Structure 1
Amino acid sequence: MDQIDYKILELLQRDSRITIIQLSRELHLSRPSINERLKRLHENGVIEGFTTLISPEAIGKSVQAIIQIGNLKCGCRHFEEKIKEEEAILECHRVTGTSSYFMKTAVSTTRHLENLVDRLVSFGQVNTSIILSTSVANRPLLPEMKQNSIDS
C-alpha cells in the first residue's frame, strides 16, 4: 500500500458514496487506475464492504449502552450464537480482562434496555453503562504509513 491507497481509504471512509470520477479528480489519477486500486484493495481484504451510517436518534433508538458480561455460565461459542439473535446488539467483542464480552446496543427506551439485560443475566454477570455522549465516532481506520528513511 502506498500514499494513494491510504488516501483512497480515507476518502471512502469519510463518504462511501464518493464516485470513481470524484476519486479520480481528487487524486489526479485516471478512472481505470482508481478502479484497479479499489479492486486490489478489495481482493486483498483491506476493503471488506460498504455501509451506511444511521443516526440511532433519528430512528427512535436513542438509548445506547455498553454492556459488559463476565463470569459466563456457558461456553463462549454458545453465548456468541445466542447473542447473534439479539437485534438490539450492534457490536459484540470478546475481550481480555474481567469481562468476557463488551457489547454496544441501541434501543428505544430504558424499558427495552432492561428487558435486554434481563435476558443476558442468565449468561453471566452483567454490567451496563448508558452512553451519555460520544466524542469520537466512526473515525477512519487507516494503516500506519511507513516512513522512507533518507539516512539509510
Structure 2
Amino acid sequence: MDALDIRLLKLLQDDGRITVSQLSQELALSRPSVSERLHRLQEQGIIAGFTARVSPAAVGRTILLFIQVSQLRMNPHEFEKFIEDQPYILECHRVTGTVSYFIKAAVANMNSLQQLVDRLIALGTVNTSIVLSSPISHRIVLPEDV
C-alpha cells in the first residue's frame, strides 16, 4: 500500500457513501484510477466490505453489554454454532487466558438481557458488564506506520 491507498482508506472510513467522483477529486486521481485502487484493495482483503453502521439504541436496543464466557460445558465449535443463532449478539471473540469468549450484545430491556444470560448460563460461566458510555465506539483503521 502506498500513501494514496492509505488516504483512500481513511476517506472511505470517514464516509462510506463517498462517491468515486468525490474520491477522485480528494485524491487528485482519475475515476478509473480510484476504481482500480478500490478493486485491488478489495481483492487483497484490505477492504472487507461495505456496510451501514446502525446505532443499536436508535433501533430500540438501548442496553449494550459485554459478556465474558469461561469454563465452557461444550466444545468451542458447538458453542460458536449456538452463538451464531442469537440475534442479540453483535460480536463474539474467542480469546486466550482464563476467559474463553468475549461477546458484545445489544438488548432492548432487562427482560431480554435476562433471557440471553439464561441461555448462556447453561453453556459455561457467564459474567456480564453493562456499558455506561462509549468514549470510542468506532475508530478508523490504518496501517501502524502511518
TM range (shorter): over 0.9
Instruction: Name the SS for the 2:87 alignment partner.
Output: coil
The answer to whether structure 1 residue 128 and structure 2 residue 125 are counterparts is no
Give the superposition deviation at 1:144: 2.4
Count of paired positions: 146
Residue in 2 that maps onto 1:94:
94
Residue in 1 that maps onto 2:103:
103
TM-score by length of 2: 0.97
- CA distance in structure 2 between the partners assigned to 1:48 and 1:13 by the alignment: 12
Q: Structure 1 stretches of 5 or more lacking a match? A: 147-152
Amino acid at match of 1:52: A
Give the superposition deviation at 1:111: 1.1
Give the superposition deviation at 1:98: 1.1
The answer to whether structure 1 residue 61 and structure 2 residue 61 are counterparts is yes
Please report the RMSD computed on the Cα atoms of aligned residues, expressed in angstroms. Answer: 0.9
TM-score by length of 1: 0.94
Give the superposition deviation at 1:10: 0.8
Q: Structure 2 stretches of 5 or more lacking a match? A: none
Instruction: Name the SS for the 1:123 alignment partner.
Output: coil
Q: Which runs of 4+ in 1 moved over 2 A?
A: none
Amino acid at match of 1:74: M
The answer to whether structure 1 residue 52 and structure 2 residue 23 are counterparts is no
Residue in 1 that maps onto 2:74:
74
Give the superposition deviation at 1:145: 3.1
- CA distance in structure 1 between the partners assigned to 2:35 and 2:10 by the alignment: 16
